Chain A
Amino acid sequence: MPALLSFDQSPPLAASLRFFLTAPLFAILAGILLLWSGPDSLASRWTPAVLALTHLIAAGFMLQVMLGAMLQILPVVAGANMARPLRVATLVHGAITFGVLFLGAAFLTFSPALFKLAAILLGAGISIFVASAASALYGIASPSPTIQGLKHALAGLTVTVGLGVAMSVSLGWSLDSPLLQLADIHLGWGFVAWGAVLLAAVAYVVVPMFQITPAYPDWFERSFSLSALAAVALWTIAEWLQLDIAMALLGTVVVALAVLFAIVTLDIQRRSKRARFDASQHCWRVAMLSASAAGALWLAASTLTAVGEWPAWPLLCGVLALCGGFMSVIIGMLYKIVPFLIWLHLQNQGQQGRVPAPNMKKIIATRDMDRQMLAHFAACALLLLAVCWPVAFVYPAGIALIVANGWLLLNLMSALAVHRAHLKKIKQVVGAP
């Protein structure tokens, strides 16, 4: 019962917000890098620019928000309170922010020193996070699929970052290791065992909650995270031992599970009772469609020679999964989480309704969210075109990425401005801080 004693200790506002505000900066950096490196950079998934871009988005944008959100989610959903959340946030945020910057620079220069720094910072940052989250979750039963999924996702994160750090270490200290093979395994763990499992665990709660849909089917909730984790683990063994048929089969199972999650989500979202779709719901829908398309492309490439030999398919798959999938859903979630957290903080500060907090749509206006969402979708579309026709589309895509994420940052900053202005108002009215 220890979790209950601190039932209401959601972490301070500043703990999560720093992660949310840093994320768009990395996507802007990715846009700048795209402009700087030009059309040639998109020749394959192994060019220095693509490796840097992928990590600016995956570790700079996606990981930042996911960790910040987990700080909020653990106490509310699981009753798991981290000790000293603000200190954990400061350490983890600092370490991974600089870690990703060094990692991006390391890919561009292949400097061993930068790989070493990236490995140390990312390894340390994620270790602190995983240790704090695991100790908060320790002893908490897993009655709900969400809590179970959060635990499995943490395992997925540990392996993903462990593999990433191992690769950085071997590049930093010139050790011999099968990098290409490890990279594929790292990607499988990152996308599915960490990304999709965490997203699903959160989706069980937030999709029915924000969109007023039926719950996810029981069979799905009970079996998804463990199946995904097991499939990725078995596929890893097959990859490692180079068992061709098992690799192909298990790879297909992993991808099919991710697609299944997307399809189940689309199906229950279709049954939403809300009067009309808002930006958050559109983002979820586009994300799930995009993830399904990525899965379908992967399956087509592994079964049809014509598709498999098309040089653009791996990058298309990456853009669909990372930008169309994870980035979209993350933006959609930020537009619920940030205004609500700010409202809650202002409401608590406002002395029992003496100074009522502005409602969520006064914290970030619907119109601003809608327009930024369209800019993000346009950026995704241009990135897909840039992969197919780099010369014509790489610059528009880079600019679109910068615009969409600059706008996201602006929307988040304007929410903070409302927060500051309202705190001032509270101070004037009640004379309290």
Chain B
Amino acid sequence: MENIRDLMAADHRQCDDCFVAVERLVARAAWADADAEFDRLRDAMQNHFDAEEAILFPAFEARTGMSMGPTRVMRGEHDQMRELLDAAKAALDARDADDYSGTAETLLIMMQQHNMKEENILYPMCDQQLATQLETLLAQLKNGISGAMK
């Protein structure tokens, strides 16, 4: 049976793939392609954050009554990653490969440790707590991460 953890973790891996694609293009100084790929990365991450903040986290908070717990921390980390994405975009616009690679490295670790907390702790809790509404939630989340909500 499909669950939240598998769906959202698979989306994390897709974001990883976009991240790698940009890094490779920047390393080759293929700037125009890197710009396009970066937009894909930013959209994918943004859609993922939005789906969590608008669908998954409110459902979890309503069910558990924990609005100051893990979801608050995750929202904070989303903001930090949004800032890093902005900084990476600025480095890309300036065609500054060193600055891009430093910001990207920071973003990578930030996003990986964030993913780890979600995949190991938060998503399994969501699967457990939100079992009764799983089907509806999964459909909404799929819609959200694909960007169809916009």
Taking Cβ atoms with an 8 Å cutoff, the residues of A that contact B are 1, 3-5, 7-8, 76-79, 143-144, 205, 209-210, 212, 273-276, 336, 339-340, 343-344, 347, 352-353, 356, 359-362, 366
Q: What would be 12 A-B contacts, judged by CB atoms less than 8 Å apart? A: A76-B116, A79-B120, A143-B120, A205-B116, A210-B109, A210-B112, A212-B16, A275-B24, A347-B83, A359-B99, A360-B106, A362-B102
CA distance A402 to B24 in the complex (A): 37
Contact B69 A7 (CB under 8 A): yes
List the A side residues contacting B87 at CB < 8 Å. Answer: 356, 359
**Structural contact, B73 and A7, CB atoms closer than 8 A:** yes
Contacting A347 at CB < 8 Å: which of B69, B70, B80, B120?
B80
Residue on A with the closest CB to B103? Answer: A359
Task: Please report the C-alpha to C-alpha distance between residue A352 and residue B82 in the assembled complex, in whole angstroms.
Answer: 11
- B106–A343 CB distance below 8 A: yes
* Interface pairs A-B: 10 shortest CB-CB: A361-B102, A359-B102, A275-B27, A209-B112, A8-B73, A273-B20, A7-B70, A359-B103, A275-B23, A353-B83
Q: Which of B17, B70, B99, B112 contacts A4 (CB 8 A)?
A: B70
Q: In whole angstroms, what is the CA distance A343 to B117 when docked?
A: 19
Residues from chain A with a CB closer than 8 A to the CB of B79 are 352-353
On whether the beta carbons of B26 and A275 are closer than 8 Å, the reply is: yes
Of B16, B66, B70, B106, which contacts A359 at CB under 8 A? B106
Q: List residues of chain A with CB within 8 A of the CB of B121.
A: 3-4, 7, 79
Label chain B's interface by main secondary structure.
helix
Closest to A206 in B: B112
Using A275-B27, A356-B87, A360-B109 as known contacts, say yes or no to A4 and B120 having CB atoms under 8 A apart: no
Instruction: Give A361 to B107 CA distance when docked, in angstroms.
Output: 12
Interface of B toward A, CB cutoff 8 Å: 16-17, 19-20, 23-24, 26-27, 66, 69-70, 73, 76, 79-80, 83, 87, 98-99, 101-103, 105-106, 108-110, 112-113, 116-117, 120-121, 124-125
CB distance from B92 to the nearest CB of A (A): 13
Residues of A within 8 A of B120 (CB): 77-79, 143-144
Contact partner of B113 (CB less than 8 A), chosen from A76, A273, A353, A356, is A76
B105 and A361 within 8 A (CB) = yes
Bound: A360/B112 CA distance, A: 15
Query: Separation in Å of the B29 CB from the closest CB of chain A?
Result: 11
Q: Are B116 and A209 in contact (CB under 8 A)?
A: yes
How far, in whole Å, are A4 and B120 apart by their CA atoms in the complex? 11
Check A361 against B98 for contact (C-beta < 8 Å): yes
Query: How distant is B63 from chain A, measured CB to nearest CB, in Å?
Result: 13
Residues of A within 8 A of B125 (CB): 1, 4
Partner of A274, one of B23, B99, B112: B23
Residue among A4, A76, A273, A359 making CB contact with B105, cutoff 8 Å: A359
Docked Cα-Cα span, A76 to B105, in Å, equals 19
Q: Point out the residues of chain B lying under 8 angstroms from A359, CB to CB.
A: 87, 99, 102-103, 105-106
List chain A residues, Cβ under 8 A from B27: 275-276
- In the complex, what distance in Å separates the CA atom of A46 from the CA atom of B19? 51
A5 (CB) vs chain B CBs: closest residue: B69
Bound CA span A223–B76, Å? 36
CB of A371, distance to nearest CB on chain B (Å): 16
CB A348 to nearest CB in B, in angstroms, measures 8
> Which residue in chain B gives the minimum CB-CB distance to A144?
B120
Task: Name the A residues within 8 Å of B116 (CB-CB).
Answer: 76-77, 205, 209
